[in-house]
Chain A
Amino acid sequence: EPEVTQTPSHQVTQMGQEVILRCVPISNHLYFYWYRQILGQKVEFLVSFYNNEISEKSEIFDDQFSVERPDGSNFTLKIRSTKLEDSAMYFCASKTGSNYGYTFGSGTRLTVV
C-alpha cells in the first residue's frame, strides 16, 4: 500500500539551529500538509500546500517556518531558528482531491535542546 515517508524519524537540534524535516508524499497526491503534535496536546494543523504554493497556514506557521517541494517528489518543512517550544512530533500528510485520501507519515520527533 502506498505510504507517506518521513525522514528522519528523530531529530535532536540545539536551540537557534535550522532544521529541515523531509517527506515523500504519495506520488499521485495533489495536496500536502504538515501537522504537529506537542507531547500531550492535540494534533495541530500547520500548513497546506497545493499547486506549488501555500494554500493555507495556521498562526503557528510564522516566519520561522517554510515549506518547499523542490523536486516534485520531496516536500520539506524548514524551521529557520528552532525554539524549545518547537519540540514536537511533526507529521506530513498528503491527499488526493477527496478527504478520503488523507494519508499521514509516521512522523519526525523533533527535540530542541
Chain B
Amino acid sequence: DQQVKQNSPSLSVQEGRISILNCDYTNSMFDYFLWYKKYPAEGPTFLISISSIKDKNEDGRFTVFLNKSAKHLSLHIVPSQPGDSAVYFCAASADDYKLSFGAGTTVTVRA
C-alpha cells in the first residue's frame, strides 16, 4: 500500500527551531488527514488532523497544511522541544474511516 508516503525517514532539528514533516498521497478519494506521534513501546497518539475542505489547521505549536492540488501535506512544529522526539506518522482516510499510514519520520530534537 503506497497510497501515503513519507519520503524522509528521519529529521534532526535543534531545540527551539521549526520542524517540518512532509507527506504525499496518491488517492484522490482521501478526504481526511491525520498526524500521529509514536513513542517506542506505545501506540500512535493522535496529534492533529485536517479535513480536505481546509488548507490549514493549527493547534498550539502544531500546524498542518494541506495542498490538495499537489496531494501534499505538511506538519510544522514550532518551536521544537526535546519531548517532540518521536516517530511521526501521516495517515489518511476516505469515507470508510480506514487509515492508510505513511512509513513514518523519526524526529530528533537536539538540545
A residues apposed to B, CB below 8 Å:
4, 6, 9, 31, 33, 35, 41-45, 48, 55-56, 91, 93, 95, 99-100, 102-107
B44–A104 CB distance below 8 A: yes
Chain B, interface size category, equals 20 to 34
A33 CB contacts on chain B under 8 angstroms: 98
Question: Are B32 and A42 touching (Cβ within 8 A)?
Answer: no
| A31-B46 CB under 8 A given contacts A44-B1, A106-B41 | no
| A-chain residues with CB within 8 Å of residue B46 when the two chains form the complex | 100, 102-103
B78 at the interface (CB under 8 A from A): no
Is the contact region of chain A dominated by helix, strand, or loop, or is it mixed? strand
Instruction: Check A102 against B99 for contact (C-beta < 8 Å).
Output: yes
Chain B interface (Cβ < 8 Å from any Cβ of A): 1, 32, 34, 36, 41-46, 49, 89, 91, 93, 96-104
A56 and B98 in contact (CB under 8 A), knowing A43-B44, A100-B49?
A: yes
Q: Are the C-beta atoms of B43 and A107 separated by less than 8 Å?
A: yes
Residue pairs across A and B with Cβ atoms less than 8 A apart, 11 shown, are A41-B103, A42-B102, A42-B104, A43-B99, A45-B98, A56-B98, A95-B97, A99-B34, A103-B46, A104-B44, A105-B43
**Which residue of A has the minimal Cβ distance to B36?**
A104
Q: A6–B41 Cα gap in the complex (Å)?
A: 12
Q: In the complex, A106→B89 CA distance in Å?
A: 15
**A74: shortest Cβ distance to chain B, in Å?**
17
Given contacts A42-B102, A48-B97, 19 further A-B contacts (CB under 8 A): A4-B43, A6-B43, A31-B97, A35-B99, A41-B103, A42-B101, A42-B103, A43-B91, A48-B98, A55-B96, A56-B98, A99-B32, A99-B34, A99-B93, A103-B46, A106-B41, A106-B42, A106-B43, A107-B43
